[in-house]
Amino acid sequence: MFTQNADRRLELLQGTLDLLILRTLVFGPQHGQGIARAIQQTSAEELLVEHGALYPALQRLEARGWIAAKWGVSANNRKARFYTLTSAGRKQLGRETTKWKRLAAAIGRILESGEA
Amino acid sequence: MFRGMFGRKRKESDFKSEIESHIQLETERLVEQGLSPADARAAARRAFGNVTKAQERFYEAGRWLWWDRLWQDIRYGLRQLRRNPGFTTVAIVTLALGIGANTSIFSAVNGILLESLPYPHPSQLVTIAAFVRFPGTGVVGFSGLSSDVWRQVQGHTPGIQETAAYRDRQFTFTGQQAPELVQATEVSGSFFQVMGVPPLLGRPILTPDTAPGENRAAVLSYALWRDFFGGDLSVLGRATTLDGVPYKIIGVMPRGFGYPNVKRGLWVPLVLTPKEATEFGVVSLVARLKEGTTVDGANAELKPEIASLGDELPPLLRKAKLVASGLKGQTVGDERTPLLILLGAVGFVLLIACANVSALLLARGWERHREVAIREALGATRRRMIRQFLVENLLLSLAGGTLGLLVSVWGIQMLRAIAPPGTPRIDHLRLEANVLWFTLAVSLLAGILFGLAPALQASGRGIGAALKEGFGGPAAGRSAGPRSHRLRGSLVIFEVALAVILVIGAALVARSFEKLTSLKLGFRTDHILTVTVNFSKSVCNPAGPANIARCKLALSEVLRRVRSLAGVESAAAASSLPPEAGGLMFSLHVEGRPNKIGLGQGNEIEVRFISPGYFRSSGIPLLRGRSFRDNDTTDSPAVAIVNEAFAETFLGGDPLGKRFGTSAGKNGGPQWRIVGEVGNTLDSSFNRYKPIPEYYRPLGQMNFFTGQNLLVRTGVAPMTVAAAVEQAVWSVDKDAPITDLKTMNRLVAEAVAEPRFRTLLLGAFGALGLLLAVVGVYGVTSHTVGQRTHEIGLRMALGARPSDALRMVIWEGMALAGAGIGIGLCGALALTRLLRGFLFEIKPTDPATFVGVGAALALAALAACYVPARRAARVDPVTALKYE
């Protein structure tokens, strides 16, 4: 489902959501809705995250042991499932960040050379 | 990850509440931003996207989805099976019987046929024997060869790596509670090398040990070491005296090694006297082929060997051929065909069981057609449904297999208990890995076999058709599905046909057994005790005339003491006792006949050497003349007694006063005068039903000693005097081992043990097959009636009488059974010839058996149809139509 202003936002590239989730959790435990909000806010509302798509990703990361989850209580007293970055997840984040930066730089160079 | 394989990682409800909490949090955030709660909630939902899809994606992304679905199918299947305890029990028990019977028989096949011999590269091991073809009587094999043949074979057969010679003998082991005979084998120095089995302790017998005059060495079998020496490790080097000769123990063989005939015994070096070294019939040969040489290849090389020995051969063996035969084929030998036939029969039982369960499943599949239709309408794919059914069936078959294993534990015990004595390796039967794999494979195969057709049929009916039938339950359905109906019909035909074949086989074997056991044996079997006395060397060493006289004296003393025991009416001794065969006679001259008679001339003639009182004790009737007396000795004229068959075949009637013998007597004619004629007796090879010409000679007139088999006629139960008889023997020779202390009834029973075994097993399979087939016919007919209650009611409402309904149901059931019986009879005609070796005095296509079994099955099927038909006749049209 698209929100009304979806057309103006960027759709996430395949595989980048995992990286963003891990990055978000560096600042501490967070629940699913919090992660979705954080991604949107830190990307200055540029990135479109379909909230529903977040959960399979969380599930996947949890299964790989990069994040851990347990039920807790949110700031406004709601029961929520909180995710924490594990040490394996932290390493993975490092690897993924490097990879991503190199990829982004490479793509950037190609695009710039095209413009020149 | 590990956890994920066996249980779902996270419950769906947990996931659901997480999504719920997300939407809640998002809604609250939006409310804070000023939206109305309703709008906020809608916006939160929109932002989330398709909730169900998210759930599905979460779930399907799981690596264990396949496993998870299977687990789901299994749980669903278990629920289904629990919900129908009647069906489940019948199916599992049916399968358990089929699988259990198969596992038991397979364990025998595995233990006796498939298990390899306990020697390295057993296929390279052969025995070598001489075979001579006699006109009329066929081929006779002689395993007793000479040292010359041994050397010839060893030196001139390139395909043979090493040859060993051996000779069986017995030793008396004293010092235990009772003197005991132990089996021993004298072996050449190459024997253990040929067998390729190293000793457990010490060293094997080597060529230097076989030099004459050496201190004799002995290698013990594991059982002897355990029972007589307590498994003592310090046994090596110990001296022991056997039959008066000192032996030094040099080794112990591992458990399981006992070639050729050493179960609890020992091996000693083969030391031949110069005379023995040139004689024929002294040693047996076993050889190991070179790698790459086949038994046939070795035989091609062996053929000229015996001929090249030329003049040294006894005339009898001039035309003999040396033949090598694989060791494995021999130890199992005759067991092969019977076991394979049993395996075939028991396979039929399993097929019948499968057909039965299949029919049950078809019936149930039809009842479940709406469940299937609904599940398919809700999106279950056809593949998924078939898988669901297969999983259920595999659950059934595995449960059946597990229960079947329990059945087979009992079955194997039964097999061991009823197996004929002397069945090779019968104590080795157990549930081992091979057998368990077999059971698993059979169970899975059975599950697929009985389940595939119903699964395809049940899931292929289309949604619309099933749902259109409404929710009135199967009884309301008019279309039972012609395909399902036909399928069940053919299953019934199939299983009835198999049952007919099984029962005919069983009946043929049972009738032969009955004929066999009702044969007139010609001697009494009740109130007779038999004993074999093995005199010790110190009392009786039958070498030289003086010693033979001592042996005869010892024997008459034993007989005198036994006869004086309370409860004993008479006692006698003989070289062999019925039902064992007498000795085969090679050649005889008969007065008035120009040609010799005997084995060499194509006549089987047996001989027995007996003491006075033998005919009275054994109950063999004296027809003419007299029996032997105590004064028939070497000093009196040589006499003989012949049986009826001998008199008729060779003397043309009254034999008294006529003469015959192995050679000419003093006055030119044959030397034995016939003083009596007795009735014929049958020997244990009852298949040679025709009585064999036989003659008897008095022990007292023989210049050799034999006759250590006692026959004790008692006035009381024979075993009650057994201990006293033993004591009487020991009072003459305290070191004499006593073997085969048995009643004559038991001896005779042992002689027919093998046919009895087959009859029992085939009978059991026949009965099982029949029972299952009848249950099958009943099940299908009864289900058909249930399905057609509505139709029958309608017919009755339109004027049909109950007898019409009865006739209709019976007619339909019997049409199936009849077709099955017809096919079964044809199948039996083709298959029973395999049983020929099992049959006695009855043809494999015996018309009476075929007709009888056909009729019996028809009757059984009729009974199976009658019960549901009665139910059909009682259908009340009003109730039946109300079902709609």
Location of structure tokens 């079997």: B525
Burial class for A63, CB neighbours closer than 10 Å (0-12, 13-18, 19+): middle
Q: CA B449, CA B129: separation in Å to the nearest integer?
A: 49
Give me the mean pLDDT over the B386-403 stretch: 86
Going by C-alpha positions, the residue among B226, B776, B272 that lies closest to residue B492 is B776
Enumerate the domain spans of chain B: 2-63, 65-121+335-468, 122-290, 495-515+750-884, 535-736
What are B738's strand-pairing partners?
B533
From A75's Cα to the closest Cα of chain B, the distance in A is: 10
d(C-alpha B643, C-alpha B608), whole Å: 11
Q: Partners of B324 in the beta sheet?
A: B128
Residue at A77 is within a domain: yes
Vertex B549 angle, CA B546 and B553, to 5°? 145
Q: Kindly identify which residue of chain A lies nearest to residue B1, measuring between CA atoms.
A: A63
pLDDT of B533 > 80? The answer is yes
Give the C-alpha separation, B813 to B771, whole Å. Answer: 16
- Statement: residue B305 has pLDDT above 90: no
Of the candidates B702, B721, B711, B703, the residue with the CA atom closest to the CA atom of residue B573:
B711
Partner residue facing B18 (CB), from A1, A32, A34: A32
pLDDT at residue B3, as a whole number: 38
Q: List the domain range (segments joined by +) for residue A45.
A: 6-115
Q: Which of B15-29, B138-152, B492-506 has the highest mean pLDDT?
A: B492-506
Whether residues B46 and A3 touch (CB distance < 8 A) is answered with yes
Question: SS3 of A82, please?
Answer: strand
Q: How far is CA B44 from the centre of its chain?
A: 76
Structure token pair of residue B588: 């005889």
pLDDT digit string, tens, across residues B716-745:
999 999 999 999 999 998 888 888 888 998
Question: Quick check: B49 and A33 CB within 8 A?
Answer: no
Residue that has been written with the tokens 């091979």 in this structure: B434
Do B102 and B440 meet the contact criterion of CB atoms below 8 Å apart? Answer: no
- Between chains, do B25 and A79 touch, taking CB under 8 Å as contact? no
* A34 interface with B at CB cutoff 8 Å: yes
- Contact at CB, B22 and A1, closer than 8 angstroms: no
What is the sign of the dihedral through the CA atoms of B464, B468, B473 and B475?
Answer: negative
Does any CB of chain A come closer than 8 Å to the CB of residue B50?
Answer: yes
Whether residues B4 and A74 touch (CB distance < 8 A) is answered with no
Per-residue tokens: B280: 């024929």
Closest CA of chain A from B73, distance in Å: 24
Nearest CA-CA partner of A53 in A36, A73, A28: A36
The reply to whether A22 falls in a domain is: yes
- Residue of B789, B780, B747 lying closest to B524 (CA atoms): B747
pLDDT computed for residue B342 by the predictor: 84
Amino acid B315: pLDDT? 65
What pLDDT does residue B596 have?
78
Distance CA B659, CA B646 (A): 12
B450 contacts B397 by C-beta, under 8 angstroms? yes
**Alpha-carbon distance B299 to B755, whole Å?**
34
Residue of A39, A48, A55, A77 best to disrupt the B interface, most CBs of B under 10 A: A55
**Closest residue, chain B, to A37 (C-alpha):** B26
Supply the pLDDT for residue A48: 65
| Strand extents, DSSP E, B679-783 | 694-698, 709-714, 738-743
| CA proximity to B321, closest of B300, B348, B342 | B300
Phi first, then psi: what are they for B174, rounded to 5°?
A: -105, 175
CB contact under 8 A, A63 and B15: no
The CA distance from B593 to A1, in Å, is 117
Average pLDDT of the residues in B456-470:
52
Using alpha carbons only, what angle is made at residue B805 by residues B801 and B808, rounded to the nearest 5 degrees? 135
CB-CB contact of B721 with B529 (8 Å)? yes
Both structure tokens of A86: 């594990």
Amino acid at B174: T
pLDDT in tens, A77-106: 788 889 998 888 888 888 888 887 887 787
The per-residue pLDDT for range B407-448, each reduced to its tens digit, is 988 988 888 887 777 666 666 677 778 888 888 888 888 888
Binned at pLDDT 50, 70 and 90, residue B479 comes out as very low
Does A1 reside within a domain?
A: no
Residue B54 distance to chain A (closest CA, Å): 5
Identify all chain A residues contacting B46, using CB atoms and an 8 Å cutoff: 1, 3
**Which residues of chain B lie closer than 8 angstroms to A48, CB-CB?**
none
Around Cβ B226, how many Cβ atoms within 10 Å? 15
Tell me if A21 is assigned to some domain: yes
Rounded-to-integer distance, Cα B439 and Cα B398, Å = 9
- Model pLDDT, residue B623: 94
Contacts 24+ apart (CB under 8 A), B371-376: B372/B458, B372/B459, B372/B461, B372/B466, B373/B461, B373/B462, B373/B463, B373/B465, B373/B466, B373/B467, B374/B467, B376/B459, B376/B463
B212: preceding bond cis by omega (within 30 degrees): no
Reference B272, options B260, B263, B281, B262; nearest CA is: B281
Per-residue tokens: B870: 């009665």
Of B465-474, B613-622, B842-851, where does mean pLDDT reach its minimum?
A: B465-474
SS3 for B118?
coil
Q: Is the pLDDT at B513 greater than 70, yes or no?
A: yes
Q: So what's the pLDDT on residue A5?
A: 41
Calculate the alpha carbon distances from B744 to B175, B494, B575, B747, B805 in Å.
30, 46, 16, 5, 61
Domain count, chain A: 1
Residue B713 sits at φ, ψ, to 5 deg, of: -90, 125
Rg (CA), chain B: 38
Domain with residue A58: its CATH number is 1.10.10.10
Identify the CA nearest to B766 among candidates B695, B860, B686, B867: B860
Q: Does A5 touch chain B (CB under 8 A)?
A: no
Q: Does A51 touch chain B (CB under 8 A)?
A: yes
Task: Name the nearest CA neighbour of B400 among B70, B100, B85, B773.
Answer: B100
- Whether B647 shows a pLDDT value over 60: the answer reads yes
Residue B64 C-alpha, separation from nearest chain A C-alpha, in angstroms: 11
Q: What per-residue confidence (pLDDT) applies to B502? A: 92
Instruction: Assess A56–B contact: CB distance below 8 Å, yes or no.
Output: yes
Residues of B within 8 A of A59 (CB-CB) are 10, 15, 58, 61-62
The nearest CA of chain B is from the CA of A49 a distance in Å of 8
Residues from chain B that touch A1, judged by Cβ atoms under 8 A, are 46-50
What's the whole-number mean pLDDT along residues B518-547?
83
Has the ipTM of the complex gone over 0.85?
no
Return the top range by mean pLDDT from B59-73, B411-425, B669-683, B846-860.
Answer: B846-860
Of B459-468, B580-589, B865-874, the poorest mean pLDDT is in B459-468
Report the pLDDT averaged over residues B505-515.
89
A47 touching chain B per CB within 8 A: no
Out of B26, B46, B58, closest to residue A33 by CB:
B26
Instruction: With H, G, I as helix, E, B as strand and everything else as coil, classify residue B246.
Output: strand
Whether A53 sits inside 8 A of B49 (CB atoms) is yes
Nearest CB among A52, A56, A59 relative to B51 is that of A52
Nearest residue to B58 (alpha-carbon basis) of B9, B131, B1: B9
Tokens of B373: 């239709």
The whole-number pLDDT of residue A3 equals 39
Helix (H, G, I), strand (E, B) or coil at B708: coil
Structure tokens at B645: 């068959």
pLDDT at A21 over 90: no
* pLDDT of residue B483 exceeding 60: yes
| Upstream peptide bond of B655 is cis (omega within 30 degrees of 0) | no
